[in-house]
Structure 1
Amino acid sequence: MRLHRNLCFATVDGLIKIFNEGEYADKVIQQLLKRDKRWGSRDRAFVAETTYDIVRWKRLYAKIAEVKEPFSRDDIWRMFAVWATLKGIKLPDWKYFENTPTRKIKGRFDELSKIRKYRESIPDWIDNLGEKELGKDIWTKEIHALNEQADVILRINTLKTTKEKLQAELFDLDIETEFIKNYPNALKLKERANVFQTEAFKNGLFEVQDASSQLVADFLDVKPGMRVVDTCAGAGGKALHLAALMENKGQVIAMDIYTNKLKELKRRAKRNGAHNIETRHIDSSKVIKKLYGNADRVLIDAPCSGLGVLRRNPDAKWKLEESYLEKIKENQQDILQQYSKIVKDGGQLVYATCSILPSENQEQVDKFLTSEHGKDFTFVKDIKILAHKSGYDGFYMALMERKS
């Protein structure tokens, strides 16, 4: 591979924004990809993948490069040189790469790779927490899997097409996909491609959604004609799936505290042809109380650490703080206590997170079920998804039923 100056400059500029200015990696990369209209798909792929790669391995590369935060521009170039050297890329004779000790870089990499927190490039506190909650063996395997690049998975919009039809349509565009066993609405891309530019996406034939995430709506066991409430809907990936499973019959009430996310959901619902979704902004407790005892099904896709989705959000491990994790656990329990009251007698509740930590998952469910209000519910079943076993995001979901 030959390094091109303008692509490398764009990557370095992006890394400074992510590391020093606290901007989100996905937003920064979106901006970078609009930087030069002359860039082809390979150029854009280089910028996106290299940026994510260096974000993912920040701690390891910074240690090898002997630089510390806040990083200067020269520091970022030194980390870039580490990345290129470890990838086996010949460094051009630019001033940024003068005196790069390539042999020392490889030696330091071999040495640091013996220590998990450097090998997997994670903060000490996350490494300690992961081992404490999952055990040394499982955590070692899991954090390794969470550092691998995520596959691109599509969820077929069954309101408009079938898996077979979409696969054929994408094949005509030289985008090859494959079915995934036990994931009825999923297609996996064989090679990464910009699917958002396709007419199939613009016409609402699919959404990009990880395979693990696709299991949540199925787990809720919805039927056409039901009243279903998605309490932490966000931009609506699971609400759209629920609408499709209900064949546009009945009602999906999608709620969130962020109006901008609900606006995005409305746009997506229109594109998907999902007509049974109603959005409601949670601006006070009254919005929740009006729904008490009214829903056949309630989904609580709770705010969480996001440790199960580090493959697609590698910057999250650098933004997450231990104190925030404790606050989010309090929030999870509060949400469970309040939003579960929306379930009617005989109705069902799913509590889900994209975390792999038992303290955010089954421990929260156990605490809820032994509480005053939780005693009205019966535990039915749960699923714990680990990335090193499934090959997809880490996830948790628990199904509970309100007693009649």
Structure 2
Amino acid sequence: MKSIPLPKQKNLRADCAWVIYQILEQGRSSRDVLARVQRRHNAKDNAWIQEMSLGVLRQVPLLQSWLRTLLDRPLKGDKKAIEHLIMLGLYQLTFTRVSEHAAVGETVNAASYLGGIKLKGLVNAILRNFTRQELASKPIEDPVIQSGMPKWLFKLIHQHYPDHAADILHNSNQPAPLWLRVNRHKTTLAAFCESLDALNVSYTCPDTHPDAVILTKRHEVTALPGFSQGWFAVQDGAAQLAAPFLSAQPGERILDCCAAPGGKTGHIIEQCSDLAQCVALDADDSRLARVKENMARLDHNPTVLCADASEPDTWWDGSYFDRILLDAPCSATGVIRRHPDIRWLRKPADIEALTQLQAKIFDAMWTVLKPGGTLVYATCSILPAENSEQVAQFLSRHPDAVWQPLKEGETEDAPGWQILPGEQQMDGFYYARLVKSTG
């Protein structure tokens, strides 16, 4: 698909449609394209663009089904972005409080900014016909369209979780709650909560997470008390389990493998401040810049290393690690509610490539773990091929690997704990803990 440049002049809906086009047609991440567009707008407009674009991504199959009903033939070439603008208009009319007048009028006007001045009449006619035919009130029978997922992922979820598929699909389409992790090096949970109370910020403190706060209403993170002083980090509840599962002890050498953006690194240090060393390793230098920024704000000082985890001969100094957290590259299918673009960026062929990479890194990390040491394998995926099946295959390759259950119900054929999206308000995540035998 031909690339379409960002409109020369900023326009709220044109820029939003461009974001959607870049994700769906060019395969670019929402983080990258939103960052580019949001340089042009104020905070309020940026929030609108993000809410609308991510909302559209959650409803692509439904919006496309309506579009096919209303559009005689697909638009092509440099006019393809107009289809995404129309989808944005349909989303506003159906799922938002934007008035019909603004949803139609402003969307039609935005066509000019996308090089579609001659298509303004078409955009207007489609949006008017949509409301006139009351398509939004007509039931959609296709369960794939209802799910908001690509067909391949819909089938996999039903295949692996027949009893939980409906909940997974529903929760994956809900906005994720905002979890915070209090930095116990800087303050206490009680003191941080008092500061939130003083500003009338609504929150809860889950019993399952001793350092966690969940905000019950959306807030600008940087405006919360203690942000610049490093009192807290943004980290989902599932990710907050990694450090306790690793259970680093004083005097130990720890490796956080594939560490960016550094949330788990910070938590490891906060849980045990007397470590001999904590190494944060990642192959992406640009993402490591975020690790350094986050660690500086939280006042932590890990060893940050840019290297390929699958090739320890290129970076390992020969000194074994006591514990390793392997947060493996994955499909991220457990965090779709937080990053709805993932469902469209991932393709079926990606899963095989990812499982091969995971196995390569897994084996490599085992070589740098000392006998008697602990490795925690983690992903933010819900696909067994990346999780329980990956760990079971690793155990079959490594007789010196001892599986150590984290939760009741684990078996050797299905080791580890699979957290499903929305479970205890958490993202979808997987954990397994292994110990390297000394014999």
TM-score (norm 2): 0.83
Question: How far off is 1:366 after superposition?
Answer: 0.7
Q: Where does residue 159 of structure 2 map in the other structure?
A: 132
Tell me the distance in 1 between the aligned counterparts of 2:137 and 2:21: 23
Partner AA of 1:116 in structure 2: P
Q: Which residue does 1:211 correspond to in 2? A: 237
CA apart distance, 1:206: 1.1
CA distance in 2, matches of 1:244, 1:389: 25
**Equivalent in the alignment of 1:111:** 139
Give the aligned CA root-mean-square deviation in angstroms: 2.3
1:245-264 mapped onto 2 (5 Å cutoff): 245-247=271-273, 249-264=275-290
Out of 381, 384, 401, the residue aligned to residue 377 of structure 1 is: 401
Letter in 1 for 2:376: V
Report 1:223-262 matches (<5 A): 223-247=249-273, 249-262=275-288
Unaligned ranges ≥5, structure 2 = 1-9, 109-119, 406-415
**Distance in 1 (alpha carbons) for counterparts of 2:251 and 2:353:** 37
- 1:51-90 paired onto structure 2 within 5 Å: 51-66=53-68, 72-87=80-95, 89-90=98-99
Identity %, equivalent residues: 27
CA distance in 2, matches of 1:147, 1:338: 36
Contact 1:117 1:124 in 2 (8 A): yes
Measured at CA, do residues 34 and 199 of structure 1 come closer, stay the same or move farther in structure 2, by a change above 3 Å? farther
Q: Is the 8 A contact 2:28 2:345 kept in 1?
A: no
Shift in Å, 1:362:
0.8
Deviations 1:242-274 (A, max 9, x none): 011112533111111112222321222121111
Q: Does 1:389 align with 2:418?
A: no
What is the SS of the residue equivalent to 1:210?
coil
Q: 2:29, 2:345 within 8 Å by CA — same for their partners in 1?
A: no
Give the conservation status (yes or no) of the 8 Å contact 1:224–1:245. no
Cα distance between partner residues in 2 of 1:250 and 1:186: 26
Q: Deviations over 1:180-230 (max 9, x none)?
A: 120111111111111124462222111111111111111111123221111
Structure 1: stretches of 5+ with no match in the other structure: none
Q: Shift of residue 280 of structure 1?
A: 1.8
Q: After TM superposition, list the pairs within 5 Å mapping 1:2-401 onto structure 2.
A: 6-37=11-42, 40=44, 43-66=45-68, 72-87=80-95, 89-92=98-101, 94=105, 95=108, 98-99=124-125, 100-103=128-131, 106-107=134-135, 110-112=138-140, 114-135=141-162, 137-198=163-224, 200-247=226-273, 249-275=275-301, 277-283=302-308, 284-287=311-314, 289-291=316-318, 294-371=320-397, 374-381=398-405, 382-401=416-435
Deviation string for 1:4-47 (max 9, x for gaps)? Answer: x954344223323333333321233333333234x54xx44322
Which segment drifts farther, 192-201 or 124-133? 192-201
Greater displacement, 119-128 / 91-100: 91-100
Residue 173 of structure 1 deviates from its aligned partner by: 3.9
| 2:158 partner letter | E
Q: Secondary structure at the match of 2:359?
A: helix
**Kept after mapping to 1: 8 A contact 2:202/2:215:** yes
Q: Does the Cα contact within 8 Å between 2:283 and 2:306 map onto a contact in 1?
A: yes
Q: Which residue pairs with 2:413 in the alignment?
A: none
Matched residues, number: 391
- The answer to whether the 8 Å contact 1:157/1:272 transfers is yes
TM-score with structure 1 length normalisation? 0.89
In structure 2, how many angstroms separate the alpha carbons of the residues matched to 1:271 and 1:180?
Answer: 25
Cα deviations across residues 276-317 of structure 1 (Å, max 9, x unaligned)?
A: x1112225532455346x111111110111100001111111
Q: Which amino acid aligns with 1:56?
A: R
